[in-house]
Amino acid sequence: MERFKWSVFCSHLLLVALGALSFYTFDRAYYGTTILLGMLIVALLIIVLKRQFSIYDVFMDFVESTRHRDFTRFYVTSKRDKTKRKIHEAFNQINATFKEISVSKELQYQYLNQIVNMLDTAIFTYYPDKDKVIWMNEAFRILFDIPYVGKFSSLKKRNNELFETISSLNIGQQHIEAVSSSKGKVKLLMQLSELQTQEGRCQIVVFQNVNEAIDETETRAWQKLLRVLTHEIMNSIAPISSLAETMSVQLERKQLTEDLEDIRVGVDTIKNRSEGLLKFAKSYRTINKIDKPQLQDIAVSEMFETIYQLLEPTFIQKNIEVDLILKPTRMRLHADANLIEQVLINLILNAMEAVKDAPSPYISISAIERSGRVQLSVTDNGVGMDTELMENIFTPFFTTRKSGSGVGLTLSKQIMLIHRGNILVESKLGKGSTFSLQF
C-alpha cells in the first residue's frame, strides 16, 4: 500500500512539473517543445487515471459483492502490478473470513434448529406488529397439523381457536387451556415471552402438552384412593354379608310369624345391599388389577375382523350400519391384543347405546397411521355429549346409564396409559361422538 501511495504522489508531482515546464516553453515561444510536453502530460494523465479507475472498479466490485453477501468471489493474484495484487490478496482474505463466519453461523443455526425440532414442546414465534410468522418447530406442526403459515393472521383460517388463544395470552404468565389439535382436544400449558430484535418486537409462544401428565397424575391418585376403599369396604361388608346370609338361611327353616317375616325381609335387604356393595368393591379391583401389558405385534385388520364377528349379530339385530376403515390396510400395532380388544369392544358397546334412538344408526371403526403413530377411532352418529359430560366420563363410577357401573371408560383410559398412549373424545350434542385411541 505504501508503494501505491508513493506511486500516486510521484505521478502527480511529475504532472505538476511537466505542466510548469510547458508553461515555461510556451512563454519562451518554444511551441514545438510545448506541444510535445502537452502530449506527454495527456498520455501520463491517461495512464494515471486508467490505473486509478481500475483500482476503483475493483473496490466497487468488492463493495457490491459484500452488499449482496456474495463471498464466493475470488480475485486473481497473479498480476504483475504489485499494488493491484496486494489489493486482490486483501479482498480474498476478507472474503475467506466472511465465508468462514457465514458457514459457522449456518452450522450453528442448523444445530440449534435440529435440537429445537427434536423437542416435544411446540414453539411458535412471530412479529405481532408486522403480522409475520418467523418460525415454528416440528412439534408445533405435528401438534396442530399446520405445515406452514407466513402471516400470523393466516393462522385464523387454519385454527381459529388457536389464533384466539395466542392473541389472548399475557406476557410472562402461564396459562392452561384445552385446545383443538391433531390429537383432538388436549390440555396445553402455554406461555408467551417477548424480546426486541433489529426487525422489531418478537413474541415467542411455547406449548407443552400436559394432557398425559395430568391423566397419569389423576390415575395414580385414583388408584391410591381405590386401593384404600377396596380394603375398607371389603373388610367391613364381607362379615355383614356373611352374617346376613346365615340369618336368612336360618329364618327360612322356621315357621315365621308376622314379626319374624318383617325381620326376614330386613335381613334379606341387608344381604342384598351387602352383596351389591361387595360387587361394587370388586369393580375397584377391576380397575386396579391391570399392571403390565403383554405386548405383541398385532395385525389391526385381524383384530377388527375378530371384534366385528363377535358383535355382528347385535349389529344386525339393532339394524346398525358399520364401517371398518384401515389406512393403510396392512397396518400393524405393538400392543396387548386382549386389552385393546377390550377397550374397543367397550367403546363400540357405548356407541351402540348412543345410536339406539337414531333414525339411521351408524358406527365406524377406523385405524389411521400418521407420522408413524397409530390412531384407532370409534365414531357414532348418536346423541353426543355436552362439555360438562365430556369432562366427567373418565371419572371412576361416573355413568349416565341405569345399568352401567361407570368402570368401562376409566378402565379403557388406564389401559391406554399403560400402553404409553391416551384416549381422547370429541363430541357435539345431537351430532355424535368420536373416541380415539392414540398410540
| Single-letter code of the amino acid located at 58 | V
What pLDDT score does 150 carry? 86
* pLDDT surpassing 80 at residue 29: no
Residue 13: CB atoms within 10 A of its CB come to: 10
How much is the mean pLDDT over the chain?
76
pLDDT value at 286 more than 90: no
Give the range among 52-56, 344-348, 405-409 with minimum mean pLDDT: 405-409
**Interatomic CA distance for residues 176 and 191, integer angstroms:** 9
CA 384-409-415 angle, to 5 degrees, is 135
Which distant-in-sequence residues (6+ apart) come within 8 Å of 270 by Cβ? 240, 244
Could you tell me the pLDDT band of residue 9, with boundaries at 50, 70 and 90?
Answer: low
Chain segment 371-402, per-residue pLDDT in tens = 678 889 999 998 888 877 777 777 666 566 65
Each residue of 302-331: pLDDT tens digit?
889 888 888 888 888 999 999 998 888 888
Q: Which residues on neighbouring strands pair with residue 371, listed in sequence order? A: none
**pLDDT tier at 107 (50, 70, 90 boundaries)?**
confident
Strands 362-370 and 321-327: parallel
What was the pLDDT predicted at 363? 92
Classify strands 174-181 and 432-438 as parallel, antiparallel or unpaired: unpaired
Q: How confident is the model at residue 406 (pLDDT cuts 50, 70, 90)?
A: low
Is the pLDDT score of 15 beyond 70?
Answer: no
pTM, 2 dp: 0.50
Q: What is the DSSP letter of 419?
A: T
- The amino acid sitting at 198 is Q
Residue 31 has pLDDT above 80, yes or no: no
**pLDDT confidence of residue 289:** 57
325 φψ region: left (φ > 0), alpha (ψ -120 to 50), beta (else): beta
pLDDT of residue 364: 92
Of residues 206 and 118, more confidence is placed in: 206
Which residue type is seen at 306?
Answer: T
CB atoms within 10 A of CB 274: 20
Answer yes or no: is pLDDT of 202 > 90: no
pLDDT for 362 equals 93
Higher pLDDT, 152 or 184: 152
How confident is the model at residue 245, as a pLDDT?
Answer: 72
pLDDT band at residue 230 using 50, 70 and 90 as cut-offs: low
Distance CA 430, CA 316 (A): 23
More confident residue, 377 or 212: 377
